[in-house]
Each structure stands twice: as structure tokens, then as C-alpha cells.
Amino acid sequence: MLLRLQKVPALKLLIGAASAFFLLTLIFTLHRHYTFYSSYDQGIFNQVFWNNLHGRFFQSSLSSQLSTNVVHQGEIPEVYYHRLGQHFTPALLLWVPLYALFPSPATLTVLQVILVTAAGLVLYVLARQYLEPPLAVMITVSFYCANAILGPTLSNFHDICQLPLFMFTLLLAMEKRWWWLFWLMAVLILAVREDSGISLFGVGFYLVVSKRYPRIGLAVCTLSFGYMLVLTNLIMPLFSQDISQRFMMERFGQYAEGSEASTLEIIWGMITNPWRLVVELFTPFFGTIKYLLGQWLPLAFIPALSPASWIVAGFPLLKLFLGKGMSVLAINIRYAMTVVPGLFYGAILWWAGQSDFRVWISDFRLDTVGNLRTKKVENPSPPAPPASPALFSSATNPKPKTLSPSFRRFWIFCISLSLFFSLASSPNRTFYFLLPDSYQPLVYVPLTEQWSRVGPIRSLLAQIPPTASVSATTYLVPHLSGRREIIRFPALQLRNDNQQVINVDYAIADLWQLQRYQVAFKGDRADLLAMVPVIDHVSSNGEYGITEFKEGVILMQKDAVSNPEAVAAWLEFKKEIESLLQQPA
């Protein structure tokens, strides 16, 4: 009877938390998309899905524009470029049937919210294998309020959004001993992207160290590590050289010599340069500490006390800490999601009394002493099987921990703080209409102002035929990406399926947004300064005609006659930003 009374309010809270997360994140992300704040990555994935739907698997001209051939060698973007050379993501094929029903970039936004919401529900079932309903619900609410979950969910669609669902399902299958499902999830995790095997390796390492299923753990470690090596050194280079010439160098170039390096060369560079490895691991020191605190905060810092959290999440953390660049320690972007499953699983085991440093140390001592003593016994009896899945075979009898009222209040405070930080940071400009994107100098776009621009921008987009080739600025790319030929402005050329270099049929640029944000963001200012001369050049020589100019958005068509009213509006806008254009980028 007591258990039933506990389950009913707990389940109501669970359903309420999942529903609130689903509805709010869906509303805000769709609002972000339809008010032209979803950006380039949303366009890349939408074009990949669109090409998959039409049998041109994982091809993308938008991805080609980011390839090493274009970025480093100055080549022209290709419509037949295979993105698998950048990121190997076959798991995306699972969702092509859904996209076929609703072929739109907004479909990917809905899919991402569904996947993350479902991950939280599986997490609750996983927690219930050890914990009573109230505590399991607290852990699930922590998941939905975690900065590392909210930030990436409120962003463009990304492949890592699949990882929490697959990881929690794999861990649940392990607890249930549903090995068919365990190995299915292992394969799907590897299919998420080329580096997701690092998360799977953490699970295998835990199974070995904890002595729960050491043979399975060893098989998982071998599979994940071998798969990553074969994939990044043999398979991905068949599509392009991006993995060695761009991604490895951008993230781990400090461990290599020269302008390119394979994963094997990076690993060898780490082994032969241990001092550099240690320095990278702990620098920036305060940034690393801040990142860990942000990951631990929604769980009231319990993962810091759980060996299982360190073991399972340790390898994704190592990947981030050993890399370089601003994004590795940014908790609001997709990479932070890779750490979450290990932290939460370790927290579950800690509350269950199965993952505690005191238990770990005492078990290690008992195991060591026991081994020493058995050497003196000629005919030892076989050891009894462990009574619980603690780290190392437990001769103690760890008991589940109880949630005291005072700690419950502290935990709720931590969850609230995590939620506050998530919303206050306005991840990916999702809350641009509620909070300024910059306070000094002030950059704020009111909701009414942006929505007043939506209609005119849509009228301009509607003038571009769905089969036409187009070049568009970052925040317009997603809305035009369901086509074969599209690149980012100010580029105007691409290589078509006939391997001919062509100029795009249309070019459209939102200059108003760049003007508004350039005062605080150097990238927007540099883009604006680069685009204006291109517009002047191609319109003055007759290559493109300016057909429309509304709300700071310019539409140009190849070989068209310019509209005098549109030209006059463009010149008036250019006059407004004249002082800015005279300054160096």
C-alpha cells in the first residue's frame, strides 16, 4: 500500500516534468526556427535528409562548403560531396521515414525534442531498477533541467541528440540482461557518429572494472575502440580527407606535427608527449572546474562522489578536456550531451549504495587481502558470487542511501539553479526576445520587431523556385535547404551534378540582422563587411539584378534586370551603414 501511495504522486510528477519539457522546448525551438534564428547546421542536416530521401545518401553542398578542399584548398563546393567524410552518421537513416512524411527542417526540430524527452523516460525506468519512485523521479527531473540537456535541445538539430536515448536503453538492457537489446543499442551508438564509440567504451570499461560482466565489457571495449580506429583511418578517408586534414587538426593538432594527422598519429602523439597531455587535461584550470560543476549541478554534485560516474563518463570527458577550441568546454552545445549518460548512471548507482569511494576502497582491500590469504590455502573453496553489482566484488553489504528532507531541499535548489543558468544564458539565441544577446553593448531584438519581419522575408523566399540553385545567409539557409544546390552567401559558385562550375540562380541575404548584431559580435561584422562589396560588384556588372529589398533583406537573380525601387532601397540601407563599412574588419 505504501509503495502504491509513493508511485502515484511520483508518476504524476514524472508525466508533468516530461510533458513540460516536451511542450516548452518544442514551442521555443519551433519559434526560434520560424523567426529565422535556426542556423547553418539545421540547414546541413535538412539537406542531408532531403538528399537521403531522394537516394543521394549523405550528400550535401552545404557540408562541402565546410570541407578541407574548400576551406583550405580554395576549391568550389560540390553538390555530390559525401558528408560521411566529415561525420559518419548512418543512424540518421532511422528517421528518414518520418522525414518522408513531413519533409521540412522543422521536422528535425520536433524529432530532436522527441528523442531527448524519450531519453528522460527511459532514464526513469533505468533508475527504478535500483531506486524507489520518488528518488527516480528526482533524477529524471534533474535530467530535464540539466544545462547540458536544455542547451543542446534548444539548438539546431544535431546527431548527438540520439545518444542519451541509446545509452540509457543500453544500460537498462544490461540491468535486465536483455543482451539482444544491449548489442543492438551498442551498434546504434556506434552509428550515431564516428566518436560516439568513446561513450560506449566507457560502459565497457565499467563492466570490466566493476567485475559485473568482464567478458562482455572487454568485448564492448574491443568493439568500440576497433570500430573507431578502422572507421577514422580506413573508411572515412574513402569519402574525403576532412577527418585527418581538418577535424583532427582543429581539435587535437597540438599532439601532431605537420598539417594533417590520423587518429592513430594523434594517439601516438599523446602517448609520446605525456607532459603536453597533462597540461591540456587541466587547462584552462578554472574553465575545466566550471565545466565539471555545471555538469554535476543538476544532480546536486553526486556524480563527483560516484566512481561509476567517473568511469563511464570519464572517457567522453577526456575527449573534451584533451581537445582545443572554445566549444569543448561550452556546456550549452551538443558535445556536452555525450557526458550526461555516464554521470546520471553513476548517480543512480551511488544512491543505490552500489558506487561509493568508501565501498570501492574497502572492497579493493578485502579483495587484495583475500587473494593473499588464498595463496596459503592448498584446497580453497570456490568464492561466493557477489551479492550486489558494486565496484569490485563486495564483501561489505552496501545499502541504498536515503534522501533526507534537508538534502532534498538542497537538490531542488541545485535543479532550480541549473534551470536558471540554462535560461539566463539564452542558448543559441533561443530567448533573443526575452533577454538581450549582449548587455554591453546592448543588443536586443523585441518579439514584435522580429515577427514584423517574418512576413516580408517569407514573401522573398517564396519567389525562389524550389528547384533553383541559391546562395543564402546563415539564418536563411535552413528554410531553403531542401534542395540539391545551395551554398552560403557571399559564395555564388558551386559544382553541379554534371561537374560543371555554375553561378547560382538566386542570392538572398539578411543584412539587417548582421547590422543589428555586428556591434557586439565580430563574426557578424566581418560577414557584413564581406557581403556589401560582393553585392555592389555583381549588381553593377549586370551579373545579378536586385529584384527585391525588404526589411534589410536583399534578393538578387542571375541575369535579371534590377528593380529601380529595390536598388533605391538598397542604396538607402547602404548609406545607413556607410560609417561602419569604412572601418577595417
Q: Which of 75, 74, 92, 95 is nearest to 83 (CA)?
A: 92
Place of cell 572517457: 315
What pLDDT is attached to residue 476? 98
Q: Tell me how far apart the alpha carbons of residues 560 and 548 are, in angstroms, rounded to a whole number.
A: 11
8 Å CB contact between 429 and 437: yes
| Helix orientation angle between 105-127 and 163-176, rounded to the nearest 10 degrees | 30
| Helix orientation angle between 133-145 and 105-127, rounded to the nearest 10 degrees | 150
Q: Tell me how far apart the alpha carbons of residues 400 and 308 are, in angstroms, rounded to a whole number.
A: 15
Place of cell 519559434: 31
Q: What DSSP letter does each residue of 314-346 carry, written as one string?
A: HHHHHHHHTS-SGGGG-TTSGGGGGTHHHHHHH
Verify cis geometry, omega within 30 degrees of 0, for the bond prior to 441. Answer: yes
What pLDDT is attached to residue 254? 84
Q: Tell me how far apart the alpha carbons of residues 123 and 582 are, in angstroms, rounded to a whole number.
A: 56
8 Å CB contact between 525 and 492: no
What pLDDT is attached to residue 327? 78
Q: Tell me how far apart the alpha carbons of residues 361 and 366 are, in angstroms, rounded to a whole number.
A: 9
**Burial, 543: exposed, middle or buried (Cβ in 10 Å; 0-12, 13-18, 19+)?**
middle
| Beta strand extents in 464-562 (DSSP E only) | 470-472, 486-488, 493-495, 501-503, 506-510, 544-550, 553-558
Place of cell 548507482: 349
Q: Tell me how far apart the alpha carbons of residues 563 and 536 are, in angstroms, rounded to a whole number.
A: 15
Q: Which of 295, 583, 326 is nearest to 422 (CA)?
A: 295
What pLDDT is attached to residue 63? 97
8 Å CB contact between 538 and 544: yes
Q: Tell me how far apart the alpha carbons of residues 75 and 69 are, in angstroms, rounded to a whole number.
A: 6
Estimate to the nearest angstrom the gap between the alpha carbon of 540 and the chain centroid: 42
Handedness of CA 552, 558, 563, 567 (dihedral sign): positive
60: helix, coil or strand? coil
Distances (CA, A) of 221 to 27, 199, 253, 269, 387: 40, 10, 25, 21, 25
Indicate the residue type of 541: N
Q: Tell me how far apart the alpha carbons of residues 576 and 68 are, in angstroms, rounded to a whole number.
A: 37
446: helix, coil or strand? coil
8 Å CB contact between 208 and 314: no
Q: Tell me how far apart the alpha carbons of residues 123 and 140 are, in angstroms, rounded to a whole number.
A: 6
Residue 239: CA count within 13 A, CB half-sphere = 24
Give pLDDT tens digits along the chain (585 positions): 445 545 668 889 999 999 999 999 999 999 999 999 999 999 999 999 999 999 999 999 999 999 999 998 999 999 999 999 999 999 999 999 999 999 999 999 999 999 999 999 999 999 999 999 999 999 999 999 999 999 999 999 999 999 999 999 999 999 999 999 999 999 999 999 999 999 999 999 999 999 999 999 999 999 999 999 999 999 999 999 989 888 888 888 888 887 788 888 888 888 888 888 888 888 888 999 999 999 999 999 999 999 999 999 999 999 999 988 777 889 999 999 999 999 999 999 999 998 776 655 555 455 554 454 444 444 444 444 443 444 443 334 568 888 999 999 999 999 999 999 999 988 899 999 999 999 999 999 999 999 999 999 999 999 999 999 999 999 999 999 999 999 999 999 999 999 999 999 999 999 999 999 999 999 999 999 999 999 999 999 999 999 999 999 999 999 999 999 999 999 999 998 887 767 665
What pLDDT is attached to residue 398? 67
Distances (CA, A) of 32 to 26, 161, 201, 268, 286: 10, 18, 36, 43, 32
**Burial, 63: exposed, middle or buried (Cβ in 10 Å; 0-12, 13-18, 19+)?**
buried
Nine-digit cell at 573?
540601407
What pLDDT is attached to residue 388? 41
